[in-house]
Amino acid sequence: MQVIELKVALDTKRLDLYIAENTELTRSHAKKLVDDGLVTVNGKAVKSSYSPKAGDVISVRIEDAKEIDLTPQNIPIDIIYQDDDVAVINKAQGVTVHAGGGTKNDTLVNALLYHLDSLSGINGEIRPGIVHRIDKDTSGLLVVAKNDAAHLSLSKQIQEKTCKREYLALLEGVVKNDQGTVSTFIGRSPKDRKLMAVTKSGRLAVTDYFVVERFPEYTLCRFSLQTGRTHQIRVHSKYIGHPVVGDRAYGFKKQKFDLNGQLLHAFRLTFTHPRTGEIMTFTAPLPDYFEKVLAILRAKVQK
């Protein structure tokens, strides 16, 4: 059983709504957990209508997902490094990391089960080996744990922010400052539960950005995550008025380039090897479709 603990920063709304905004749970799922007695506030059971107060500690117990029969699939994946403990994957755009939401096949996990000899079991049958994830339409690096000891070490590194993840993204418009930090709270969007948004009662999200290259109507930026919230870079880019190019969910519905998703790429990953203690850094070049757009923009500048 998984336990999530939330510490309330400000007085806020209903308990079930607060949980939904600060986790990946839907409001209906959160309400069911409360009604089933799986949620406590300061160690005591309460009703869904309870209004969390600043300083409250909310504990949410989530029963393990039912096991599903995942089929190993011979899906080509780019394994750029592996040993007995870890594997580093350069995930292609359009590939879902693990099963869920009706998706059972054609995920990265299905491919990992085929190509790797072992995976950690801490995340259960649905997400074996998965320590962190990136969005389906985001490309780039992620590290996979091949045993439970490696999984625990990598998870701790992510929690303590010693595992560094850096991204490149092409943003709409001209970003004013050469660098900056975006610090907000991110939770479920009240308008669309499938999306995230900057909210008053979400979880703290901190993103550092650095301008890499400027174009008349676009800006190539490097992002470094201090926290790891769902869709964090995409939400923060929208928040500062410069959504990621190709991102129809958080950006412009009409795009100038023929793209299958956002131009967001996890290009650099640094972590400490769980067994040897060696600090390891991996990089992955931008995908061809990303480079093609940059080439078009650079050609226009040179004219």
Q: Other CB atoms closer than 10 Å to residue 259's CB: what's the count?
A: 18
Residue 240 is classified by DSSP as T
Instruction: For residues 221-248, give the mean pLDDT.
Output: 96
Overall domain count for the chain? 3
Token pair 């400027």 is found at: 214
**Is residue 272 in some structural domain?**
no
**Out of 6-15, 64-73, 172-181, least confident range:** 64-73
pTM listed for this prediction: 0.80
Spatial contact of 282 and 80, defined as CB atoms under 8 Å apart: yes
Residue 266 φ/ψ, nearest 5 degrees = -80, 95
Q: Is residue 21 scored above 70 in pLDDT?
A: yes
Residue range 111-120, pLDDT digits in tens = 999 999 898 8
Q: Kind of pairing, strands 179-188 and 196-198?
A: antiparallel
The reported pLDDT for the residue numbered 263 is 98
The reported pLDDT for the residue numbered 124 is 62
The percent of residues above 90 in pLDDT, for the chain, comes to 64
Residue range 90-103, pLDDT digits in tens = 999 999 998 776 66
Give the Cα separation of 92 and 110 in Å (integer): 14
* Active-site residue, selected from the candidate residues 16, 56, 85, 135: 135
Q: Is residue 68 scored above 60 in pLDDT?
A: no
Identify whether residues 154 and 202 lie together within a single domain: no
Q: Kind of pairing, strands 264-272 and 139-145?
A: parallel
> Which domain range does residue 235 map to?
166-265+292-302
Decide which of 124, 159, 194 is a domain's last residue: 159
Instruction: For residues 108-129, give the mean pLDDT.
Output: 83
Identify whether residues 191 and 226 lie together within a single domain: yes
CA-closest candidate to residue 109, choices 62, 142, 65: 142
Please confirm, yes or no, whether 247 is among the known catalytic residues.
no
Identify whether residues 37 and 83 lie together within a single domain: no
Instruction: For residues 219-237, give the mean pLDDT.
Output: 95
**Concatenated DSSP letters of 184-199:** EEEEE-SS-TTSEEE-
End-to-end Cα, the chain, rounded Å: 60
Identify whether residues 43 and 83 lie together within a single domain: no
Give the Cα separation of 299 and 291 in Å (integer): 12
Question: Which carries the bigger pLDDT value, residue 103 or residue 89?
Answer: 89
Spatial contact of 261 and 94, defined as CB atoms under 8 Å apart: yes
Q: CA 95, 100, 105 angle in degrees (round to 5)?
A: 55
Identify whether residues 221 and 192 lie together within a single domain: yes
Q: Is residue 26 scored above 90 in pLDDT?
A: no
**The residue type at 276:** T
Q: Other CB atoms closer than 10 Å to residue 117's CB: what's the count?
A: 7
Identify whether residues 46 and 147 lie together within a single domain: no
**Is residue 145 in some structural domain?**
yes
CATH of the domain at 46: 3.10.290.10
The pLDDT mean for the chain works out to 90
Identify whether residues 183 and 155 lie together within a single domain: no
Q: Is residue 71 scored above 60 in pLDDT?
A: yes
Spatial contact of 206 and 227, defined as CB atoms under 8 Å apart: yes
Instruction: For residues 40-48, give the mean pLDDT.
Output: 91
3-state secondary structure of 237: helix
